[in-house]
Structures are given as structure tokens and as C-alpha cells.
Structure 1
Amino acid sequence: MSTRERAQELLTDLAGPDAVLREDQWTAIEALVVHHRRALVVQRTGWGKSAVYFIAARLLREQGLGPTVIVSPLLALMRNQVAAAERAGVTAATINSGNVTEWDDVHARVAAGELDVLLVSPERLNNPDFRDQVLPSLSADAGLVVVDEAHCVSDWGHDFRPDYRRIRSLIAELREGVPVLATTATANDRVVEDVAAQLGVGGADTTVLRGGLQRESLHLSVVTIPDPTARIAWLADHLETLPGSGIVYSLTVAGANDLAALLRDRGMEVAAYTGQTDPTEREAAEQDLLQNRVKALIATSALGMGFDKPDLGFVVHVGAPSSPISYYQQVGRAGRATERADVVLLPGPEDREIWSYFASVAFPREHVVRRVLEVLDTERAQSTQALEPLVELGRTRLEMVLKVLDVDGAVRRVKGGWLGTGEHWHYDRERYERLDEARLSEQRAMIEYQSTDECRMAFLRRQLDDPSLTGDAEADRCGRCDNCTGQHLSADVSADHVESTRRRLDRPGLDLAIRKQWPTGLKKVGVELSGKITDGPETGRILGRLTDPVWGPRLRALTDGEDGPAPDGLEAACIKVLAEWTWDERPTGLMVMESDSRPALLNDLGERLARVGRLEPLGVLHRRPDARPVSGANSAFRVASLVDAFEPPDLTAHHGPVLLIDLSTDTGWTLTMAARALRQAGADAVLPFALIGRG
């Protein structure tokens, strides 16, 4: 039997008796298995990239070569890939954050040569135990290395992950002649060039397969409904009419949870799926969608790359992603094995505010990064928690910076944390500035996509530098999107349904979680606090979030307009929240936090609520004139700037809990420290209440 015939046989095992190995798939397999070359495959979602590497893995094993190492970014993708591998007779296992209890067994199976394929998350590549104990044997014995979703290696891409940069070290340590395959569906020219440079898969000895990105099953539409309540009502009205089951994407975790709750209230079988969903619940939700037990998963981008449900019938976005490239990647989940899949974008004016927030957590300025290098010890490992109080970065951004510095050789991850290497490090300011401009350009393109009258699929393909585009607008039209057919979905929604949705969303009041532990490392910033917080506030409430479809616009109006007395609607909403608050002991007094931007509003609201609730008005909690500016960098810095920041109020004559009102809350530390000041002044308990939740 020839190698190609054997490859066809394996494809039949993998994909069914009707599957036929395409010429371009065989070209990739031949390059890897017969010629042991490197290959870069940039092909649309559903093209069959996973079939290439599973078949290649099995063929290489049949040649007596070692296991294939697949670097894969998401748990959902790994679970799908392991199941697919088993269908092709490939023994596969995975190492990721969701199967910690199995790591030792998997390591042993690798050492014993029992695995054909090992899927690892990029984060594992620089785990000290894995890097030092498992990776060397894999590098020496691997028969094939696959970098799936390879656009993640490029900071020009829509989903850059610093851990992916570690892959180049793995590739550099391979013995000569080990084939390497890099695959992605979402990469424009700039990203392809960067991936090739990063992974060393772009030289003369590399097979490059880059195909067209046309998706014949996708029917793209945009429905513009500025009012967020009407937008959600439209989705609730139309969800059941969409074919099969699918995914509804939300830009935020809170938005996904709230939308799922509302749709369930309307009797629909849906589930929320976000980065904060428990791994076990995530897996159950994936299975529910795969088995069509739910109409939709209401998801963030946590459900993205590689999730494989061939008959997924629709993808809806409530809010536009900031990049046409990431949008194409997400809608590519739909219609892989169906004649038709509906793709609907429901953009909103608030999308840009969310884009701005995510842009604000990009790679920090040079002086901040230099500070990280300054505080790192070259001999004593420091954990991320220990470093956090020493730099003005939150933990997520600090970890990202450390990973970039690690790849660049300026730091090294070891057991117990991070070490500085003392090596010279260059801050590539020009690159980061170009990245900022590229992201702004992508945002402008996403806005243009919403209003364009050209073919929507051709628009997206052009953003990805699709080599199969002809440049002839008529020839490149898909013939299926709303602009091509002239069949635009109506934005009309029944006034009754809008009103019922508004009533459901118009319920003010959300829990305000309290801080229970002091951040680690406070001693390093001169604060003698540690362990459990024993003198903080009780569980509080917020009126609403800026991202709420109903309360968001109202709250933004409070912050955007001029300062003045509280509107009657605001007072009524606050009274409703207070009336439904299940506190252990009713407050007897009310104090207002000092506000630089809205003192008249807060003071007027405080007086009116005190009068209605028959609470003793205790005045305003003022900041000391010499108090440090509040740093928002991380918890330790924030607490340090709030210690002794408030003028002690006179509560000697007051008895009972105090209701403490603030304009907004984000991290919760300002209200925590203010409550502590009130407790120290004699308050029995403090019940925090913020109008705006920004977290």
C-alpha cells in the first residue's frame, strides 16, 4: 500500500467512509511524512487541518518515529482533538490546567513511549517541571511538532499569547530532520510573516499552503439596533428561528451571564460559557451544545478557536469584536458541515468603550517594564504574588510582561517563581506603537464592516489578505450575505417585547462582593496588614453596571452630564434596591463618600435616602488633604494609597450599622478601606452601596 493510500484509509477512519483526501491535504502530509520538511498551512476553518496532523502523526509512528507534540491553546480544542485522534486509532493524551490530577500519569506514558500524540497547552512549555523533566525527552524523541492556531505566536495577531513564543525554543532543540507543522485559519500577510519568522517555518525548505477563505455555507448579516434593550429583545424574538443550535457571543463575562439568564427566563434552553465558568461546567456545556441539548451557548471568546461542531447552525454577536480577523475566526465555528449557517452581528454604540478597556491592558510603557526588571532578584526566586506589590501592574498584566521578558531572555521561570538573568533587554517602542496603530486600524475596519454596502464575506477576506480574491468586486461577491442578496433582516421588534425585556432588565441591584483577604506583599509597600480582613464592610450592593443594557445608558448619563441634584428616577431605583436588601441588621445611619466629580448628586441623594429611610444623616466621609493619589495598578498599591486616607468621622453618638454610599466601585478597595475607617471610628457595621459597578 502506498503512503497516500494509507493516508486515505486513515482519513476514512477519522472522518467517515465518504471522506476523500484532497490534493492540498496530501501535499501537506507528503511534505511532513515523506520528505520530513516543515510546513505552514493557512487555510479556512473546516478545511481539515487537524486531519493533516493526525494522519501524519500515525504515519510517522508507523515509520518507527516518536510521538507527535501538538501545542494547542484551548481546553475545548484539546478535548475535541483527543476524541478525533481516537477515531483515527491514534493514542492521544493532553496536559492542561483542566486535568492536573492526570499529569503524572501522562508524563509516565510519555516516558514509556505509549503515546502517539501529546497535546500540551503553551503555558506548560515553560512550567519548570515540564520544561526540565519532560520537554528534553520530547525534543529528542518527537516525530513531529505541530503548532496549532499558530497566529497566537504573533503579537500582530488577534489572540497573541506570550507563552507561544516559548515554542521556538522547543523547535530549536529538535534533532535535525524532525518535521514541523504550523497551522492557522486567521492570519493576514503581516501575521503569516511574523509566524514564519518566530517559528522558523518560512525558509526555502518549507511547504506553504495558503488557501482561500470563502465559506460557502455562511450567510452574513448585520442588524443595527442602537437601543440595547431592543437589541436583546430582537435576539430573544429571533433565536428560536435560527437553524439548529449555535453560539451567541458577548463581549463581556457579565454580559454573557445576564443574557443567558434573560433568555432562560423566556423559556429558552441556553447556558453561559465564559473564562470564569468552572472547567467541569464548561465541559458539560460543550457536550450539551454538541448533542443539541441547548439552543445556544451564550459565550465570551473563551469559546473560540478549535471548538468543533460541524453542524453548528448559527453564530450571533451581541456587540462587535474589535477586529474583523477575530470576528472571522469566531463566525468560522458555524456551517462546517451544513448547507446553511446564519451569522448575525448586533453591534452597539457601547462596543467602543469595551474595546478601549481591553486596549488599556496591552503591553505597558517602558518605565513600568524596567521597574519589573529592577525588582527581580538574580539569585532568589520571587513569585508573581510577591512581585505584584513592588510594581504598578495588576497580576494579569504582570504575568504577561514576565512571560515576554522570559522569552526575550531577561528573566527565567524556575520553581518558586521568577529570576532576573541580568541580560540586556531592549524595549521595542516602535513595534509597540505600530501594534497600537494596527489595533486602531482594525477597530476602524470593524466599524466600516457594519455600514459597508459591499459583500460582507469579501470584506472579511480582504482584511485577512485572502490570496484567492480577484480584486473584481463583482467576481468576489459571495452571493449569500445581506448586501449581496438585498435581503436584510428587519431591525423591527415588537413594542410589547421591548417593554417586557426592559421590565426584566430594569430590576436594579446587584451584589457587591466584599474583599475578604488583604493582598500579599503589603509589607513591601510599608503596610502592616495581612491575612483575613476582619474590620471591613458587609456584603454590599450596586445599582447597576455601565455594561448593563438598561442601566448602563442611565448611569453613563449621570457621569457624562453636569453635576446636580439626583433625578427622581435615581432615587426611586435606589429605594427599590434598599427595600430588597436582605441585610442582617437594618442600617441606622447614612454617610456619603466624598466625590470630586459629582458631589452635588451624591449629597442630594444621600439626604433624600436618609429622609425616606429614617436614617441619621452622618455627612460626608472626606479624604485627607495630604492623602496619596489612589493607584489603580494593583491591589497592594491601591491599599497602600488608601491607608489613613480618610479623615476620621465623629461617630461617638451613633449606634448601629452605617449605609455608605459611593458613586462607583471597581476593585472594591476604596469602599473596603473607607468601611475600615468607619469601623475604627465606632460604626457597628458598614453596608456599602455604589451607584455604578465598573468591574
Structure 2
Amino acid sequence: MINRAAAQQHLRVAMGHAGAEFRDGQWEAIDHIVNQRGKVLCVQRTGWGKSMVYFVSAKLMRAQGHGVTLIISPLLALMRNQIEAAQRLQLRALTINSTNQPNWAAVRQSLLADEVDLLLISPERLANDDFVANTLLPIAARIGLLVIDEAHCISDWGHDFRPDYRRIGQVLARLPRNIAVLATTATANHRVERDVASQLGDGVQVQRGPLMRNSLALQAMRLPGPAERLAWLADRIPQIPGSGIVYTLTTRDADRVAQWLQSRGIDARAYHAGKDDAERQALEQALLANQLKCLVATTALGMGYDKPDLTFVIHFQTPGNVVAYYQQVGRAGRAIAKAYGVLMSGEEEADINEYFRDTAFPPQWQVDRILRALEAADDGLNVREIERAVNLRPSQIEKVLKLLVVEPLSPVLRVDGKWARTPHPFAMDRERIRHLTRQREAEWAQMQAYLVNERCSMQFLAETLDDTHAAACGRCAVCLGRPVLPATVERQTLIAAQQFIRHSEMLLELKKQWDLGALVHYVAAFGWNKANIPLALRGEEGRVLSRWGEPVWGALVTRGKEAGRFDDELVAATVDLLRHRWPQAGGVAWVTSIPSRRHPDLVPDFARRLAAALGVPFRAVIEKSRETEPQKHMENRFHQCHNLDGAFVIQDGADVDGPVLLVDDVVDSAWTLTLAAALLKQAGAGAVSPFALATTAAK
């Protein structure tokens, strides 16, 4: 039996603090895991020290001769922090995740040789049959402890439910019955708690502590327009000591807010899933070392990122539910006396959160379409072949397959890289999905209530999470009866923010590879024979003026599309862009546009007025030779190319000399502009600079 004193000595080593003491509940959890080989669900606030429970437990169990501790962590940032912390206890920690595939074979050999103390994996690994068969099952009998970090992801009711986590129950069934299990989360109400405990099996000891965060000073305010919120950030962030995080709902806003703050002399960087792993690691380390004032991040920076002295977390928009907000704002003030948590509410957030709710589960027709395609295939289909068969985006296909493969009796099976239909029948549980959607809508209503809450903000959050210790904090704006940070903005800053919004166009990257199997007409006509689009046929880096419906220009584009004519303001805005912020296209010699049979005058009319304002000719040299389906309905590269095959031609004898501005109204996949640029270059045009008024690309 391990006693408390021995365990506490390991705690002090892990924390690098000779006087460290266990917090209430830490030793009790360790005792239940190590001495009783039990199961513990630990629901404790952010910063309580849940990771110390499994590090110390792993060290003690390893000393007793038990095997590796398997830690399932949802985010790479979490894995990196944990590996660094484990090293202080002289635990050898390795990981298998999407970024270190070259190391997988070596990690597997070390595991089989019992040379690994901690193995950290993402939940996605559990959906990989090769990993389960060749790595997990051979060591299953020797696993000492299974740790499920951020365990609310198991639950349908958790704010961050992930289908891959449903595999954990299946994995548990294949592990020894007496395996010790620790599940941890900071964001679980009683409903989530019961759901998680039931999936872990019998005999789970639930340990629940208070969720009140005494260091956080909370404030909520409504600033509908993005310019007001940008101005507030620029005015207030320099006044807050230390460093912090600004959360946005979308990648687009993370980039835009970071760019704005940089323009105001604030050392801010964007952090989101669009950044590669090396850049994200560098940004995490820079913030940890106080080399940045803030990261402007999506939820890609959330669970597990541990910087105890963060002095602020500010939300540019309202998250979809209380538990997500509590988890994110809880990054701040973990080891300092005071930190700020400011929630700003904007006019676009309701639409964004509705989009997230509506796309949480794939629709029935997508599931049916994929199952029919697999059933019709004799030898299964890989993802590229599924794309051709069903006209769905790779992300949509992945979502469907991920949903199906974790079913106990899965209707699909992956063998040697190909997916096949199994004999198991499958029907979407529509009532469950409706029920969960209604729950998400109720959670959104809770966030709206938080914004206008007239009692303690921290108490509101804690009570929503079913914390029986909830009480008034005395620190938030509601308790104080005044703003924690001034809600006003400087007039000159607001004017600058409004100007920035008008100038926040986006880069437009054309495609570099095409699907020649979908371009039979053009291949026959021009002899195109390489998957990579030849450099001689590629357009330049282009620009998109706005996002569809977004203030200011996006709203004007939406209105103009409906009215059948684009406003002269959009012409002036495009001229301003070309002359002042897009030097590569400033010397275009002529303008042309993408033709349409449905709206033959809309884009050419705009392009003619734009050409006149630039003082260059407009030439309608591109003709549409046949009607096509709306390109927005084409979901992947094969269908996007096939839909356009032979649809456009360059007029015989057309004057295409010199650099040209190629104009379209709305862009999504950019395939229309990519092919039109290739045809213009094939006909002898100079540099082709693509431009669109708006993009409808997903948030």
C-alpha cells in the first residue's frame, strides 16, 4: 500500500516545489487508483491539478511493476504540456499523433519492450484499426492506468462531444476488468457526469469539487458591430498587465483581429487549425515565455493549454454554451491573484453558432449516399473514390465515416485503406439528434441569459455547471455594480477600426492541381497531361473583397446580388484596393469577367464600370458554351472540375494581350477562376489576377 507521504514526495518533484501540498481530493483520487485499482471521475475546476493525479499515480504504479499509463488527450497542445511535465518525474512519455507519423514504428517497438511509462494518444487513434490491432492490443494486459483527459468529450451532452471518444467504451471492454481508470474534466454538469460514469462501467467513484474561480473578474457587454469590438480591444489590451488570449468563433476573425491588433502596435498573433503544427508550437511557446501580448485563437487553443499567469481571456464573440465559455475563460488567473474574463457579444454570433449546431451531425441524405456507394462497390472504396461517387467534400465524408465507424455494430469497415459496407443495418437516430439539437439551443439561450444576468456572473456559471458551492464572487462587474474594465472606446480608435473593416480583404489562392479525369474535354483540346497545373497556366495570387453578408462590403454584395446590380460603392472599394493595397494587380491592362447564363448582365456590368474607373478597356472574351449546375453545389475537386469541363471558351481572335483582371462576383472553391485563368493563359494572356467581390467559404 502506498501512503500519502510517499505520494506527496512525488508531487513535490513533479511541481518543482519542496513545500507543495495535496489539494483537497488529490490524494483521495490517487489512493483509489493506486491502492484500490479503482475508477475515478474527477470533476474539478481548471488549475486544480488534475494532471498531477495521473502523473503521480503513474509514477507509483510503475514502481510497483505495472505497465504503461495510457493517456487519451484531445489536443496536441495538451500532449506537449503533459510530456514536459512528466519529464520532471523522470517518466518516459511518448506520443502517437497525426504530426509524428515517422516515429510511430519506433514508439511501437519501445512499447512492446516495456520501455515507455506514459503513452499519449489522440482519440482519433482509437478509430484506427491498425493502431488498435498492432499497438494497443499487444500491450493491453500490461496497461497500468487508463487516463481519459477532458472526459466530457465522451458524452453526447458535453460541449465538445467527439465521435472518436465513443471508441473508449469499446476499448475498455477489451482491457483487463481490473484496470485502473481516471477520467478528468473541468466542465461537466450532473447530466454529463452521469453519462460519462455510465460509459466507464460499474464502480466509478465521482469526485466533484467547487468550480468557483476567485481570481477571475468577469464582465459581459454587448458591442454589436465588429468595429466597436476591435476598437475596444485596441484601447484596453495595452492597459492590462501581462499576457492573454482573445477567443474568436472563426478562423477568419482570428486572422482579422490579430492583424488589427498588430496594426495598432500590439504584439498579437493568430492561432487556429489552419496553422501547421510547428507554427502552433512556436506560438504556444512564445506566449508561455511572455514574448507575445496575446494570441487571437479559435477553440484550437483551449483544453490543456497551461499558462498559469495569463492575466486576461477576452471573447470577441459569445461561445455556444456555458461549459465551453467556462472552460475557455478558465485559462486565465490559474496562479495569480487577479485576472480578467471579458465577454463581448456581437451581431454575427447567433448565425455562426446556428451554423455550428446545424452542422454538428451529418444529414441523413449524406449518410445514405455514402452507404449506397459502398454497397455498390465490389472491393470497397478509398476516400478519393467515394468523392467521385457521392459529390461530397472530404470533410463531409470524414464526418459521416467517423460517425458510422464508432457504432457498436458498424455499417462500415476499413481494410487496407478502403471502406466497405458491412451486413449490419443502420438508421440515423433522428430523435436523438433532434433532442441534442434542442439541448444545444437551450444552452445557447443560457449564454444569452448570462449576457443580461443581473446577479453574480461567476455564480451564474458555477450554478449552471451544478456546483453546489456557488456563491457571489464579489469581483465581477455585476457584483461591483460597475464595469471591471471601461466599456467605452476612443472615437479616433473607432474611426480607425471602421476603416480597417473596409480594408480587410482576403487573399485568393487559385488551385495548383486539377483532376484530369474530370476534364476530358479540355484534356482532349489542349493536351493537358499533368496533375499539377503548369506554372504557365496558373493565375496570380488574387483578392476577395469581403465575406458574403459580412459588414460592410459583404452586406452590399448580398444586397446587389438580390437587386441585380452591384452598387457603385463596391466599384470604388475595388479601385481603392487595386491602387493602394494590391500592387501586383495595379498595372492591369484590361478587365474581363466570368460569364453567366442565369445572370448574363450582373458581373459584366460591374466589371465594365470597374474598368472605366481604372481607365482600361473591358473585354468580354470568355464565353459560356453550355449551362452548368451551380458550382456551389459541387462539393469536391472531381465534381467541381467535371461540372466545368468544356463550359468556357475564349473567343477566337480575341485580344488577350497584357495583364488582365479576371472578375467574378462570388467565389467558393475557386475552380471557376482557376480554369478561366488557365484558358486565358492558354490563349496567350499575360498575368491573370483573379478578383471576387465576396466568398461563401465555410466559416
Normalised by the size of structure 2, how large is the TM-score?
Answer: 0.90
Task: Show the counterpart of 2:491.
Answer: 495
Return the offset for 1:392.
3.6
Partner of 1:49: 50
Change (3 A) 1:522 1:122: farther
Cα deviation code 1:506-536 (max 9, x no counterpart)? 4364321001112597499999997123596
SS in structure 2 opposite 1:337? coil
Partner of 1:125: 126
Task: Give how far 1:682 is off.
Answer: 7.6
What secondary structure, in the 3-state scheme, does the structure 1 residue paired with 2:247 have? strand
Tell me if the contact between 1:563 and 1:601 (Cα under 8 Å) persists in the aligned partners: no
* Structure 2 Cα separation of the partners of residues 537 and 594 of structure 1: 22
Aligned-partner residue type, residue 513 of structure 2 = Q
Structure 2 matches for 1:283-362, cutoff 5 A? 283-362=281-360
Q: Distance in 2 between matches of 1:151 and 1:207?
A: 16
Contact residue 563 and residue 600 of structure 1 kept, 8 A: no
Distance in 1, matches of 2:312 and 2:117, equals 35
**Cα shift readout 1:105-152 (whole Å, capped 9, x = no counterpart):** 222221111222111111222334322211112312101111111111
| Aligned mates of 1:177, 1:521 — CA distance in 2 | 55
Alpha-carbon deviations, 1:379-405, whole Å to 9, x = none? Answer: 735332332222243112211211221
Is contact 1:78-1:119 (8 Å) kept?
A: yes
Residues 417 and 555 from structure 1, CA distance in 2 versus in 1: closer, same or farther, beyond 3 angstroms?
Answer: same
2:541 and 2:291 map into 1 onto residues whose CA distance is 37
Take 2:576 and 2:519, find their aligned partners in 1: how far apart are those partners?
Answer: 42
| CA displacement at 1:668 relative to structure 2 | 1.0
Query: Against the structure 1 CA distance between its residues 187 and 393, is the aligned structure 2 distance closer, same or farther, given a 3 Å change threshold?
Result: farther
Change (3 A) 1:113 1:435: same
Match of 2:642 in 1: 640
Match of 1:396 in 2: 395
1:526–1:640 contact (8 Å) kept in structure 2: no
Change (3 A) 1:70 1:665: same
Answer with 534-543 or 523-532: which moved more.
523-532
So what's the TM-score if we normalise by structure 1? Answer: 0.91
User: What one-letter code is carried by the residue in structure 2 that aligns with 1:327?
Assistant: Y
Count of matched residue pairs: 682
Give the counterpart letter for 2:507 in structure 1. D
**Counterparts of 1:494 and 1:164 in 2: how far apart (Å)?**
47
For residues 264 and 87 of structure 1, the distance between their equivalents in structure 2, rounded to whole angstroms, comes to: 37
Give 1:9 deviation, angstroms: 1.4
Distance 1:675 1:234, change over 3 A: same
> Aligned-pair distance for 1:164?
1.5
**Partner residue, 2:473:** 478
- Which amino acid in 1 is paired with 2:13? D
Q: Tell me, yes or no, if structure 1 residue 661 matches structure 2 residue 663.
A: yes
- Secondary structure of the residue aligned to 2:78 is helix
The AA in structure 1 aligned to 2:554 is L
SS in 1 for 2:83: helix
Q: Report the secondary structure of 1:692's partner residue.
A: strand
Query: Aligned AA for 2:492?
Result: D
Aligned partner of 2:554 in structure 1 is 555
Aligned AA for 1:235? Answer: L
Q: CA deviation at 1:333?
A: 0.9
Please, which of 214, 217, 223 is the counterpart of residue 216 of structure 1? 214
Q: For residue 692 of structure 2, give the secondary structure of its aligned residue in structure 1.
A: strand
Separation of aligned partners in 2, 1:85 and 1:70: 12
* CA distance 1:601–1:27, shift in 2 (3 Å): same
Task: Give the equivalent residue in structure 2 for 1:12.
Answer: 12
Q: Secondary structure at the match of 1:98?
A: coil
Range with bigger deviation, 263-272 or 314-323: 263-272
User: SS at the partner of 2:299?
Assistant: coil
Residues 319 and 325, structure 2, Cα contact 8 Å, conserved in 1 = yes
* Cα contact 1:153–1:164 (8 A) shared by 2: yes
Distance in 2 of aligned mates of 1:430 and 1:31: 39
Q: What is the SS of the residue equivalent to 2:392?
A: coil
Work out the CA distance in 1 between the residues paired with 2:156 and 2:394. Answer: 20
1:617 is paired with a residue of what secondary structure? Answer: coil
Determine if contact 1:593/1:660 at 8 Å carries over to the other structure: no
Q: Is the 8 A contact 2:146 2:180 kept in 1?
A: yes
Distance 2:520 2:584 in 1: 39
Secondary structure of the equivalent of 2:274? coil
Which residue does 1:169 correspond to in 2? 170
Are 2:567 and 1:567 equivalent residues in the alignment? yes
Structure 2 regions of 5+ residues with no counterpart?
none
- Taking a change above 3 Å as real, the CA distance of residues 245 and 171 of structure 1, as seen in their structure-2 partners, is same
- Are the aligned partners of 1:324 and 1:442 in contact in 2 as well (CA < 8 Å)? yes
Q: 1:267 aligns with which of 260, 265, 268?
A: 265
Aligned ranges for residues 40-439 of structure 1 at < 5 Å? 40-197=41-198, 199-201=199-201, 203=202, 205-376=203-374, 380-408=379-407, 409-439=410-440
**2:609 maps to amino acid:** R
- Partners in 2 of 1:383 and 1:300 — Cα distance? 31
Q: Cα offset for 1:547?
A: 8.1
Letter in 1 for 2:665: L
- Return the alpha-carbon distance in structure 1 between the equivalents of residues 586 and 261 of structure 2: 32
Are residue 445 (structure 1) and residue 446 (structure 2) matched? yes
Identity %: 42
1:660 aligned counterpart, secondary structure: strand
- In structure 1, the partner of 2:510 is 514
Report deviation, 1:372: 1.2
**Take 2:627 and 2:564, find their aligned partners in 1: how far apart are those partners?**
27
Listed as ranges, the matches of 1:585-664 within 5 Å are 586-594=588-596, 602-619=603-620, 626-630=627-631, 631-645=633-647, 648=649, 650-656=651-657, 658-664=660-666
Which whole-Å CA distance do the structure 2 matches of 1:93 and 1:58 have between them? 15
Describe the SS at the equivalent of 1:19. Answer: coil
CA separation of 1:622/1:652 partners in 2, compared to 1, >3 Å: closer, same or farther? Answer: closer
Q: Is the 8 A contact 1:211 1:467 kept in 2?
A: no
CA RMSD of aligned residues (A): 2.9
Cα separation, 2, equivalents of 1:90 and 1:270: 35
- In structure 1, how many angstroms separate the alpha carbons of the residues matched to 2:491 and 2:389? 55
- Cα distance, 1:342 vs. partner? 0.3
Q: Judging changes above 3 Å, is the alpha-carbon distance between structure 1 residues 438 and 681 closer, same or farther for their aligned structure 2 residues?
A: farther
Letter in 1 for 2:119: L
Q: What per-residue deviation string (whole Å, max 9, x for no partner) do you get for residues 631-687 of structure 1?
A: 2433333333333445x4635332325533222112212333444566678866643
Cα distance in structure 1, aligned partners of 2:111 and 2:565: 69
Distance 2:378 2:143 in 1: 33
**Letter matched to residue 299 of structure 2:** S
Give me the whole-angstrom Cα distance separating, in 2, the residues matched to 1:218 and 1:521: 58
> 1:126, 1:413 within 8 Å by CA — same for their partners in 2?
no
Q: Which amino acid aligns with 1:513?
A: E
Task: Indicate how the Cα distance of structure 1 residues 569 and 247 shifts in structure 2: closer, same or farther if over 3 A, else same.
Answer: same
Structure 2: how far apart are the matches of 1:424 and 1:560?
A: 47
Q: Deviations over 1:295-326 (max 9, x none)?
A: 11111111100111111111011122222221
The residue correspondences of 1:536-555 to structure 2 (distance < 5 A) are 538-546=539-547, 552-555=551-554
Q: For residues 376 and 196 of structure 1, what CA distance do their matches in structure 2 show?
A: 36
SS in 1 for 2:70: strand
2-structure distance, mates of 1:587, 1:154:
59
- How far is the alpha carbon of 1:13 from its aligned partner? 1.3
Cα gap change, 1:223/1:23 in structure 2, threshold over 3 Å: closer, same or farther?
closer
Contact 1:316 1:345 in 2 (8 A): yes
